[in-house]
Structure 1
Amino acid sequence: MEIASRVILLLLLPLFNFVVAQNASRGAQEFHVGGILDLETMVGKIARTSISLAMEDFYAVHQNYSTKLVLHIRDSMRDDVRAASQAINLLEDYNVEAIVGPQKSSQAVFISKLGNKSHVPVISFTATSPSLSSKSHPYFVRATLNDSAQLNCIASIVKTYGWRKVVTIYEDTEYGRGIIPYLVDVLEDIDAHVPYQSVIPPSATSEQITLELYKLMTMQTTVFVVHMSFTMASRVFIKAKEVGMMNKGYAWIMTDGVTNLIDSLNPSVLKSLSGILGVKFYVPKSTKLDDFTTRWNKRFQADNPTDLPLKLSTFGLWSYDTIRLVAEAAEKVGLTNATFTKPGVTRNSTSLETLKTSGNGPKLLQEILQNQFEGLSGNFDVSDRQLQISTFQIINVVGKGWREIGFWTAQNGISRQLNKSRPATALSGSARDLYPVIWPGESKEVPRGSQIPVRGKKLQVGVCTSGYPEFMKVEKDYITGATKASGFSVDVFEEAVKKLPYALPYEYVIFSTTDDRSSEDYNDFVYQVYLKIYDIVIGDITIRYNRTFYVDFTLPYTESGIAMIVPVRDSINRNTWIFLKPLAPGMWFGSVVFFIYTGVVVLILEFLGNNKNVRGPIPSQLGIMIFFSIFEGKELVQRFLSRIVLIVWLVFLMVLTSSYTASLTSMLTVQQLQPTVTDVHELLQSGECVGYQRGSYVKGLLEELGFDRLKIKPYDPDDFHEALSRGSNNGGIAALVHEVPYIKLFLSNHCKGYTMVGPIYKAAGFGYALSKGNPLLRDISNAILNVTGGDTMIQIEKKWIGDQNNCQNVGPLTGSSTLTFANFRGLFILTGVASTSSLLIALIIYFYKKKHKTTKIMLDNTNLPEENGINEENSELQEGNQDSTGVEQNTQRAGQEENGLEQQTSLEMAAETSIVMSRNGSTVISRGKRTTGLQVELM
């Protein structure tokens, strides 16, 4: 290969001489530019052909330019030292104004330092390592993307398919290491962890690569992100296919270092990549690009007649656009300051100390950074000293080719169509936003991300018999040696494992405790996880603060809290006066008050309406008032306002009567149970004894609440019923303080006679303990949520605890059925408003009529003629006597008739005339409404 490359260089020399001669003939000034490529690599060969075409195309269009690039290409032969040596040679012997193409990031680091020293811009279209920054290398320009630009795209793919664990595989080079810290941080931001990082040195043998892959197979994680050069990646994927890691269940994501060259890979290598996802720089299609690709293929065959055909890659397009970038900048700068200043040196100085400084360098760098154009690769903008982040294409390798499944942009995230505009973040996306993928093993099922380790051991699950066998019971099969566990906690754990997105093999390992099953024993049990004896411990383990110092707990799978078990008693005393209990004292008082008020209002209304039935002695009026309040009494009530008041009052009586009847019936037929103790503070004030389960941490809680130690008694579960039934005064306890799950279990066996009060104290409930940072923690917690939120949990509770719906004492008890004033507040308000408003309206009408009639009579008296006064008085006196006689006769007839009430009412409305004669002989006539007929008074 070295001989062939030298032959190619000799063939190219005449072409370069011809170009120089043409420039000289036209008077164009030579602008020397150095080029450093690895001509034996695929990228180097592709770049060399692209650079040659770029020179021809550019100056064919710009023949009038006063400057013309003269390229001095050197082969680094994949060696960093040789690349540095060639750069020094170009700077010393050819006074190059710029250096293009340090191909490897490790080469670009040192050559950029030379550029800093000599003020010569160094432009690389392949060095992608993030370690190359403009701060430390001000004369370095990256005409390609920074490797970190693709990290958000990779993270979006991981999040899209719901993977939470990823293993990185990278080569131990400047290029490979540079991206990994940034990749881990981005994955952590989406809550995807990197449990292992696989590093493969460039010098690794096939056996070493195989051993590393076998190691990865022993892990649960099956999602891998590969960041390598295409040469190393080809070796790794071929071995991965051999060991079975390209089968169903695995997922691979390749960075753009390989996918940008995907079309140029060997078909055998491409076949080993079948099923992987890749991130590829997106190049917009155009007619210009198609024409260039055709010409490029022909030129590559001519330049490399003995090599296999290669396809144009993104790196080739970037090299093409880089030459245009430098050529346009050179024309703007010109060669007016084409001077190189040689520093003062001593006699024994090295060649690095004798490097000359370019006078055009700063201005050339400025023109390069300011130049922006639409190149073959798309928008070519290096104003930020590197190519700006653009669009990434997500591809899926299938067979010997690849297909596009979507795009990623910083504005829209992942989408199937490039121009799809939607509000999104850079890390958003779902599987529906990508086209279906053919995964390794030609599977269409999305890999879960984890599976059974090929050589891993089973999960060690610690179990121990609980004081409540319903929650955990452990038995040892002495024939097979297997440990069998059963109970509520076991069923929840096994159902949660079934809900995991991957298979999780496990086995139970028994832990022996003392007979009292105290909290101290459970502390030791949980501590075994910290000692790495068990991977996880399950059972009725309370999540407590002191235990979280050395283990992590899953989400609780039981109801949380600490409550009391107390006896219940009938709250109603069925004695002689039980008929008074349906209504509260306030209700009785309010009803009586409104009863009296309504009767008084109706009595006043009828009195103002001249109803004769309401006139008479006080006892009679009191009886009428009571009658009005209870009965409607149409024959007694004549005014419309009175009837409105009575209708509203009747509605009130109907509602009150029906409610009273229902409440009294409930008291006589339904047993009303109430707890003997409703609050823990009642126990503190009364000084009664309380109990707790022996060995439980509840004892310390009771002491913190202020209970006397002599009043706190420990009991075993079998003794709870007897202690509560005896009571505090008979050597027992008034209440038992316990955790809610245990209380529910007790009440399922002793449904009658006891109830739960509380919770009186917050507790986290029962959970499973795992080691700190265990990746299973989140998965099992999510699975527990899945179990507890569905019908599965109900069935497990019925199996081990019983049907809680059959016990009326579980949960809050119904309160007393006594009706209070507040229950009927609305009706009271309605009745009061109706009565009061009717009374006010009647009073207003009464006083208005009285005032109107008085005014009219006074006006009539003023208009009487004085001369006819006596005659009129006599005439009126006679008329009054006649009227009086008629009234008396009508009154007598009214008393004899059957409907005397109506006629009497009409007769009572007759006008009364009173004649008063003064001492001096004058006569005064007075008329007014009276109820007793005509009256004459002599003064």
Structure 2
Amino acid sequence: MDLKPASRSSQMKKRSFNLCLWFCRFGTLLWFSAETSKAKQAQIPVGVVVDLNSSVGSMAMRCIQMAHDDFYKHYSHYQTRLDLRIRDSENDVVTAASAASDLMKNENVHAIIGPLFSEQASFVTRLGHKSHVPIVSFSATSPSLPPLRSKFFIRTAQDDRSQVQAIAAIVQAYGWHEIIPICEDTEYGKGLIPYLTKALEKVNTRVPYRIAIDPNSEEYDILEQLKELNQSRKRIILVHMTSLVGPKFFSAVNKAGMMTEGYGWIVTDGLSNVLAPLGPKVMDSMQGIVGVRPRLEKSRRLTSFRKRWKASSIKSGSVSSSLTLFGLWAYDTVWAIAMAVESTFANYKGNDTLIDRILSTKFEGLSGNFNLSEGQLEPLELEVFNVVGRKERIIGRWSPQRGLFLDNHWSSRGKLMPPIWPGYTTNQPTKLRIGVPVRKGFVEFLKVERRSSNSTPDVSGFSIDVFLEVIKALPFPLPYEFVPLRIGSTGSSGGLFKEHDAVVGDITIVANRAEHVDFTLPFSESGVSMVVSMKYDERQNMWIFLKPLSPSLWLTTGAAFVLTGITIWLHERQTNPEFQGSPQQQLGMVFWFSFSTLVFAHSKSPLFKLIHYIFHDL
């Protein structure tokens, strides 16, 4: 009986040994199967050209690596694998082109992801066209790089043109009649301006000129350009720059004192998409700006990825590293190329090239629906935000179908939440300075009264009534203020209007003024005229011409005429025989000269004959 427990124990050990042996054999089989499968997987070289030292480049590179790992964890059965060959563009066009050329010639890559900037992408695309290698950029957004020009350039991002209609809608909503674009002097910066100008013209907003900032310029150079802008009294400004130039520019704006009340700043998605990675110091210099950028739809997959990104950043010590839309586009780009590579080299038996498969790839990515239309990502709905403190406050949305709207309510269409403007104020920039000439007389047309030097002037009159009716007829609000204007102190030069946006009142149209400003048509024809309100009396109709002047004024005018005749008689009676003769003739000549001043009467006229008859024949 004592042997039974020992026998049972021996049997248990034997079973455990056999089970362990089975697991080892099964593990070895799995390992061998995986290694065999791995050996069968084709390694497809794909180049990556980004600026690894920039905040956007390093963030995008992390997203590319995470996308590569996530994709093949999810599709472990795929027979192809992307073999990423990474090169640093060093934020230089020549370096980027050289890196791409090396990848094409020496690494035999089938595609290149990048480069980051439009100017670099322009050169690299030419190399890709020559070598028949597709260039897939997730951040080169300039309209000067349309994929239709070269089928070897694919943009897995939105074209900058997708935001111009939203910007025009914002400008129209606030009733701004003039705006100054400031861009960086690169292919990216200048490529948007023609499309932006055209969109603004459609909402009756003028673009008098633009300012281009050299990316290599020092801060004092930017300050000089801002000084000229400040002197021109232009207060609504649009900034279209990348993250390389934007922080330096807004630092200069603050030093120039132009991030204060009365100014309005709008930024495009070149800066709007990367505000968080730029850091709190840059956001502090952009207080009160309004920006537009693509709006991301929330999803479980995106939320999960953000959590992983944050945990990875903390683990690596990059706590300040922030995820942006460019990173999400880079992530989705890797997935799209990986799907196209598998379809081209493993499963697909047709004649489509890798370019064709990339363009036809569709899936739900982290950034939303990945669908390339005409070689670039289809536009997303845009959101409008306002920088307040170190937060970005969403104040509205825009879509091609609905225009501007708040939240998701149709009743709020065409509206935005009131932003906090520079200077921490809700007062909308900028009020039009309407000059009103201060003159004595003709108060029916314009009357300006001030109770004190600091008070707002009371302005009335026909000209003001016309101006107010025009303001009411406008389809948008137009803030303004009346500023008294003393024309006599400034003369008739164009400098009269330098500090005013418009002038309402009776202003003489002269050549040197017309060179600087536009005049509206006069209320009436040129010449002396008067409108008199009176009752019509048939008995007094023949004397109606006397009504415009008072009796005392008529007497004064008559006395002046007689005095003129006497003066002429005194001067001419010694030498001119016409003023000689009898006293009656001389007196008739005096009165004839007097009346001829009022009504022209030559010597053969009935008036002269009447006077001659009264003072000579009688």
Task: Pick the aligned partner of 1:328 from 314, 339, 342.
Answer: 339
Aligned to 2:206: 193
Task: Pick the aligned partner of 2:113 from 83, 100, 106.
Answer: 100
TM-score, structure 1 normalization:
0.48
Q: Does 1:168 align with 2:181?
A: yes
* Pairing of 1:744-759 with structure 2 (within 5 A): none
Aligned to 1:437: 419
Deviations 1:573-603 (A, max 9, x none): xxxxxxxxxxxxxxxxxxxxxxxxxxxxxxx
Task: Pick the aligned partner of 1:228 from 241, 251, 268.
Answer: 241
Decide whether the 8 Å contact of 2:148 with 2:375 is kept in 1.
no
Count of residues in correspondence between the two structures: 500
Aligned to 2:429: 447
Q: Matched residues in 1 for 2:595 and 2:518: separation? A: 34
Partner SS state of residue 445, structure 1: coil
CA spacing shift, 1:243–1:493, aligned 2, 3 Å: farther
Deviations 1:286-309 (A, max 9, x none): 12111111112233455xx46552
Partner SS state of residue 96, structure 1: coil
Aligned to 2:559: none
Superposed displacement of residue 103, structure 1: 0.7
Aligned to 1:297: 310
Superposed displacement of residue 383, structure 1: 2.7
Deviations 1:691-728 (A, max 9, x none): xxxxxxxxxxxxxxxxxxxxxxxxxxx999x97xxxxx
Partner SS state of residue 164, structure 1: coil
CA spacing shift, 1:504–1:72, aligned 2, 3 Å: farther
Q: Does 1:400 align with 2:390?
A: yes
Superposed displacement of residue 392, structure 1: 0.5
Q: Does 1:508 align with 2:492?
A: no
Superposed displacement of residue 548, structure 1: 9.1
Decide whether the 8 Å contact of 2:490 with 2:496 is kept in 1.
no
Superposed displacement of residue 552, structure 1: 3.6
Q: Matched residues in 1 for 2:362 and 2:348: separation? A: 24
Task: Pick the aligned partner of 1:554 from 506, 516, 520.
Answer: 520
Task: Pick the aligned partner of 2:359 from 347, 355, 369.
Answer: 369
Q: Which has the larger radius of gyration?
A: 1
Q: Does 1:122 align with 2:104?
A: no
Q: Matched residues in 2 for 1:41 and 1:168: separation? A: 26
Q: Matched residues in 2 for 1:152 and 1:443: separation? A: 26
Deviations 1:523-570 (A, max 9, x none): xxxxx66x87887998767999xx999974225456999799999986
CA spacing shift, 1:543–1:223, aligned 2, 3 Å: closer
CA spacing shift, 1:150–1:31, aligned 2, 3 Å: same
Deviations 1:125-161 (A, max 9, x none): 0001111022322210111011111111111111111
Q: Matched residues in 2 for 1:569 and 1:77: separation? A: 89
CA spacing shift, 1:503–1:112, aligned 2, 3 Å: farther
State the percentage of identical aligned residues.
37
CA spacing shift, 1:255–1:116, aligned 2, 3 Å: same
Q: Give the stretch that moved more between structures: 33-42 or 200-209.
A: 200-209
CA spacing shift, 1:224–1:537, aligned 2, 3 Å: closer
Q: Does 1:316 align with 2:323?
A: no
CA spacing shift, 1:505–1:169, aligned 2, 3 Å: farther
Q: Matched residues in 2 for 1:301 and 1:489: separation? A: 69
Superposed displacement of residue 215, structure 1: 2.0
Q: Does 1:412 align with 2:412?
A: no
Decide whether the 8 Å contact of 1:463 with 1:539 is kept in 2.
no
Superposed displacement of residue 200, structure 1: 1.3
Which letter does structure 1 place at the counterpart of 2:427? E
Q: Matched residues in 2 for 1:282 and 1:675: separation? A: 78
Which letter does structure 1 place at the counterpart of 2:200? L
Superposed displacement of residue 256, structure 1: 0.5
Which letter does structure 1 place at the counterpart of 2:343? K
CA spacing shift, 1:553–1:336, aligned 2, 3 Å: same
Q: Matched residues in 1 for 2:343 and 2:525: separation? A: 77
CA spacing shift, 1:539–1:262, aligned 2, 3 Å: closer
* Pairing of 1:764-783 with structure 2 (within 5 A): none
Which letter does structure 2 place at the counterpart of 1:554? T
Aligned to 2:616: none
Q: Matched residues in 2 for 1:719 and 1:239: separation? A: 73
Aligned to 1:385: 375
Partner SS state of residue 284, structure 1: coil
Which letter does structure 1 place at the counterpart of 2:78? Y
* Pairing of 1:327-726 with structure 2 (within 5 A): 327-334=338-345, 363-417=353-407, 419-421=408-410, 429=414, 433-448=415-430, 501-502=480-481, 504=483, 506-509=485-488, 552-554=518-520, 556=522
Q: Matched residues in 2 for 1:463 and 1:441: separation? A: 33
Q: Matched residues in 2 for 1:295 and 1:540: separation? A: 69
Q: Matched residues in 2 for 1:471 and 1:505: separation? A: 15
Which letter does structure 1 place at the counterpart of 2:300? T
Aligned to 1:31: 44
Q: Matched residues in 1 for 2:299 and 2:215: separation? A: 38
Decide whether the 8 Å contact of 1:32 with 1:94 is kept in 2.
yes
Which letter does structure 2 place at the counterpart of 1:247? T
Partner SS state of residue 168, structure 1: strand
Decide whether the 8 Å contact of 1:463 with 1:510 is kept in 2.
no
Aligned to 2:87: 74
Task: Pick the aligned partner of 2:126 from 109, 113, 118.
Answer: 113
CA spacing shift, 1:229–1:731, aligned 2, 3 Å: same
Partner SS state of residue 33, structure 1: strand
Q: Matched residues in 1 for 2:332 and 2:281: separation? A: 31
Partner SS state of residue 77, structure 1: coil
Partner SS state of residue 231, structure 1: coil
Q: Once superposed, what is the RMSD of the aligned Cα atoms?
A: 4.5
Q: Matched residues in 2 for 1:86 and 1:173: separation? A: 21
Decide whether the 8 Å contact of 2:63 with 2:330 is kept in 1.
yes
Q: Matched residues in 1 for 2:369 and 2:460: separation? A: 66
Which letter does structure 2 place at the counterpart of 1:141? I
Partner SS state of residue 382, structure 1: strand
Superposed displacement of residue 99, structure 1: 0.7
Q: Matched residues in 2 for 1:566 and 1:296: separation? A: 81
Q: Matched residues in 2 for 1:373 and 1:675: separation? A: 92
Partner SS state of residue 509, structure 1: helix
Q: Matched residues in 2 for 1:23 and 1:172: separation? A: 54
Q: Matched residues in 2 for 1:505 and 1:22: separation? A: 87
Task: Pick the aligned partner of 2:288 from 263, 275, 278.
Answer: 275
TM-score, structure 2 normalization:
0.70
Gaps of 5+ in 1: 1-20, 339-358, 453-458, 474-485, 513-527, 572-671, 678-717, 724-728, 733-939
Q: Matched residues in 1 for 2:194 and 2:484: separation? A: 33
CA spacing shift, 1:368–1:731, aligned 2, 3 Å: farther
Partner SS state of residue 364, structure 2: strand
Superposed displacement of residue 239, structure 1: 2.3
Q: Matched residues in 2 for 1:291 and 1:565: separation? A: 81
Which letter does structure 1 place at the counterpart of 2:87? R
CA spacing shift, 1:123–1:208, aligned 2, 3 Å: same
Superposed displacement of residue 420, structure 1: 3.6
Q: Matched residues in 2 for 1:488 and 1:539: separation? A: 9
Superposed displacement of residue 216, structure 1: 1.9
CA spacing shift, 1:563–1:53, aligned 2, 3 Å: same
CA spacing shift, 1:274–1:26, aligned 2, 3 Å: same
Superposed displacement of residue 267, structure 1: 0.9
Decide whether the 8 Å contact of 1:282 with 1:391 is kept in 2.
yes
Superposed displacement of residue 284, structure 1: 0.5
Superposed displacement of residue 122, structure 1: 0.8
